[in-house]
Amino acid sequence: MINFIQKYTESSIIPSLSDFIRIPNLSPQFDNQWQQNKLLERACNHIVKWIENETVGLQIEIKIMQIENAPSCIAVKFLGNQQHNKTILCYGHYDKQPHFVGWKYGPTTPILENNRLYGRGSSDDGCVPYAIIAAIKALKEFKQNYHDCYLIVEGEEESGSHQLIQYIQMLNLIKIDLMIAIDSGIVDYDRLWITNSMRGAITFDIKIIQTENPFQYLRILLNKLENSVTGEVNSKFQTIISKNSLEECKATAHLVPLEFPMICDKMEIDHIQQYINRAWKPSVSYIGGLEDLDQYNDTLTIRISMRLPPNKDAQEASEQLIELLTTQQSKIEIIQAKTGLAVKAFSNELKNILNDASFQYFSNEMRMFHEGASIPFLNSLHQLYPESQFLILGVLAPDSNAHGPNENLNIEYFNKLIGCLAQIFTSQNI
């Protein structure tokens, strides 16, 4: 099957994905002319057209859903033919991050080099609809059955997925057995990586008012939030890591390289604890605002981003922040608060399927990865179908440069991932 997938990727996916890279369709947040220039619409139509051409003879329904003032959303239904048909929902997005500078060839110049396809949107997240179609086509080619499978490709993930839930509700799906979101990171290209937790995030402003020395007062407040020597965040924002997740972290830590700025003293020397800190502990970063200093009114505003443990409710954390840091001299304004995600444990059947697939295509067991970053829409999806199992996959290794210059798709990993997807779609007991 891998030979079929390789050939298909080469002959059909790479040419079309390259044309997708040529379209500079930034996410709405980064292009306020998107409704006039219709670049998102062009990208959406490009994908739909490719799907239509490639799926002749397959039992599918394609529609472009449209909510007013939002980018369209692609929905494809593949009618399954399993004896005990289950329902799978797959997710991807077609909007892109801004281009930024520093590209070797340019963000909209697709180049295939060393079996990597370079260009903005190649791996985040343009490759997803191509991967799903390729998996279904491979199963069809080898006369293997598959479950009912929905694919949804939205156009505003990089802007906050504001209409995603409404779009999914428009599909009227009663029950989902398995959700697969392909938009996450991986650690290396040696195995099937599954993301099992993401941290939440709160962005907020601290405004210091009417005090002789706003800097000194700010320092007092920040000390309440985190220990200035160790970086340990106030215990109100700490949570307990489940036994299952702790075991996974211990099993995976040695595979995950952690980089530290050269000037920084490490809070922890133990590598496992460093990894757990990044994935499961809150942390505070100062992301701006000092330029708003108004010397004449003695006011000072600073913007802070705080990562939250995957199982900490962002609303609760916001209230705790306000309570902790509001005084007569200070105000707190919450800009954004998003809860992270702690995926519930998979059934043994699904675990076995994933492991078998990883062995078949990578000759290595799969591993669960606890991601320290945040992807806010994942939690909303999880809430929408809490009964469903939730599989978070990706193609983005550290050298894939998602969101940075020289974003690229590792074609070998991509092909193996397609093989794994096909195996999941065809397995009876997902």
In this chain, which stretch among 27-35, 123-131, 265-273, 421-429 interacts with Zn ion, using CB under 5 A? 123-131
Closest approach, Cβ 125 to Zn ion, in A, equals 4
In this chain, which stretch among 45-53, 115-123, 178-186, 332-340 interacts with Zn ion, using CB under 5 A? 178-186
Closest approach, Cβ 264 to Zn ion, in A, equals 28
Q: How far apart are the C-alpha atoms of 161 and 381, rounded to whole Å?
A: 11
Give, in order, the Cα–Cα distances in Å from 395 to each of 64, 94, 102, 126.
26, 15, 22, 11
Closest approach, Cβ 123 to Zn ion, in A, equals 9
Under 8 Å between Cβ of 305 and 201: yes
Closest approach, Cβ 157 to Zn ion, in A, equals 5
User: 18-36: string of b/e by CB count within 10 Å (b at 16+)?
Assistant: bebbbbbbbbbeebeebee
Q: Which is nearer to Zn ion, 31 or 124 (CB)?
A: 124
Q: Which is nearer to Zn ion, 153 or 276 (CB)?
A: 153
Closest approach, Cβ 183 to Zn ion, in A, equals 4
DSSP E strand stretches across 35-147: 60-65, 73-78, 87-93, 111-113, 116-118
In this chain, which stretch among 69-77, 120-128, 140-148, 387-395 interacts with Zn ion, using CB under 5 A? 120-128
What pairs with residue 186 in β-bridges? none
Q: Which is nearer to Zn ion, 71 or 282 (CB)?
A: 71
Closest approach, Cβ 318 to Zn ion, in A, equals 25
Q: Which is nearer to Zn ion, 322 or 373 (CB)?
A: 373
Closest approach, Cβ 158 to Zn ion, in A, equals 6
In this chain, which stretch among 77-85, 122-130, 190-198, 280-288 interacts with Zn ion, using CB under 5 A? 122-130
Q: How far apart are the C-alpha atoms of 222 and 110, rounded to whole Å?
A: 46
Q: Which is nearer to Zn ion, 156 or 226 (CB)?
A: 156
Q: Number of residues interacting with Zn ion: please give it, by CB under 5 A.
A: 3
Closest approach, Cβ 193 to Zn ion, in A, equals 15
Q: Which is nearer to Zn ion, 153 or 357 (CB)?
A: 153
Angle between helices 314-325 and 214-225 (to 10 degrees): 140
In this chain, which stretch among 33-41, 80-88, 118-126, 320-328 interacts with Zn ion, using CB under 5 A? 118-126
Is 248 one of the binding residues for Zn ion (CB under 5 A)? no
Q: How far apart are the C-alpha atoms of 419 and 421, rounded to whole Å?
A: 5
Q: Which amino acid is at 417?
A: L
User: 335-353: string of b/e by CB count within 10 Å (b at 16+)?
Assistant: eebbbbbbbeebeeebeeb
- Cis peptide bond upstream of 125, omega within 30: yes
Q: How far apart are the C-alpha atoms of 320 and 323, rounded to whole Å?
A: 5
Closest approach, Cβ 124 to Zn ion, in A, equals 4
- Per-residue contact string for residues 182-211; x = within reach of Zn ion by CB under 5 A: -x----------------------------
What part of residues 124-163 is at the interface with Zn ion (CB under 5 A)?
A: 124-125
What part of residues 281-300 is at the interface with Zn ion (CB under 5 A)?
A: none
The SS3 of residue 311 is coil
Q: Which is nearer to Zn ion, 9 or 159 (CB)?
A: 159
Q: Which is nearer to Zn ion, 156 or 183 (CB)?
A: 183
Q: How far apart are the C-alpha atoms of 57 and 352, rounded to whole Å?
A: 32
Q: What spatial distance separates the first Cα and last Cα of the chain, rounded to whole Å?
A: 20
Closest approach, Cβ 119 to Zn ion, in A, equals 14
Q: Which amino acid is at 425?
A: F
Q: Which is nearer to Zn ion, 159 or 389 (CB)?
A: 159
**What is the DSSP track for 125-180?**
IIHHHHHHHHHHHHHHHTT----EEEEEEES-GGGT-TTHHHHHHTT-----SEEE
In this chain, which stretch among 175-183, 239-247, 254-262, 267-275 interacts with Zn ion, using CB under 5 A? 175-183
Q: Which is nearer to Zn ion, 125 or 148 (CB)?
A: 125
Closest approach, Cβ 185 to Zn ion, in A, equals 10
The SS3 of residue 230 is coil
The residues that touch Zn ion, with contacts defined as CB under 5 A, are 124-125, 183
